[in-house]
Chains A and B, each alone.
Chain A
Amino acid sequence: GAVVSQHPSRVICKSGTSVKIECRSLDFQATTMFWYRQFPKKSLMLMATSNEGSKATYEQGVEKDKFLINHASLTLSTLTVTSAHPEDSSFYICSARARDSRYEQYFGPGTRLTVT
């Protein structure tokens, strides 16, 4: 149980285009989803927290107009990187917290974004 999927697993896009990454909880309802960014050999940096049906809360330094997060249902959250630039190339990981779990987060496999 508690499986989180991400799609796509890898994406290459041209500079200036937008890319959407999906995060789904497959066998549970996720009241809260989190988006992290991981640079090579670096830790996971929390980007934002989103609760189903409400606006995401962004961490300091994360541009909300650039990284659009939507959490429209209890099983789906999306991250859209708008007007992507090479410096946005990174590994994006989502995690989800179940309705009946206050503390544990289940992580997706991540999406490797490369902006050329």
Chain B
Amino acid sequence: AQSVSQHNHHVILSEAASLELGCNYSYGGTVNLFWYVQYPGQHLQLLLKYFSGDPLVKGIKGFEAEFIKSKFSFNLRKPSVQWSDTAEYFCAVNANQAGTALIFGKGTTLSVSS
């Protein structure tokens, strides 16, 4: 079974600082990788996803993530955060098989001060 680890529980940054949130997964087969964001009081939104191909994927709002297969990692990055990026960020994985559900990490709370 897959599992997902997000090592940063709460990250506090000032505006314009760079962001990197760690995500590691555990699964022996091929996986699909996702990052979701949940703004306060709102539902989950997809930031970006990786299925195959270029391991550096770009998502919405200036976010990107890099899949490093040898490290089982899919870290999320943003060069310069804004106050509006304050939210909960979830990394998720599913096995590359039809019908399998997304398994989520515990989430990272990002607080950006202006």
Dominant SS at the A interface?
strand
Whether B44 contacts A51 by the Cβ 8 Å rule is no
Could you say which of A41, A45, A49, A109 has the most chain B C-beta atoms within 10 Å of its C-beta?
A41
Dominant SS at the B interface?
loop
Chain B, interface size category, equals 20 to 34
Instruction: Report the number of A-B residue pairs with Cβ-Cβ less than 8 Å.
Output: 45
Interchain CA distance A103-B50 in the complex, whole Å? 10
Whether A103 contacts B44 by the Cβ 8 Å rule is no
Interchain CA distance A84-B96 in the complex, whole Å? 36
Interchain CA distance A43-B99 in the complex, whole Å? 21
- Which are the 10 A-B pairs with shortest beta-carbon distances? A109-B43, A43-B106, A107-B44, A103-B32, A44-B104, A102-B98, A43-B104, A34-B101, A43-B107, A46-B101
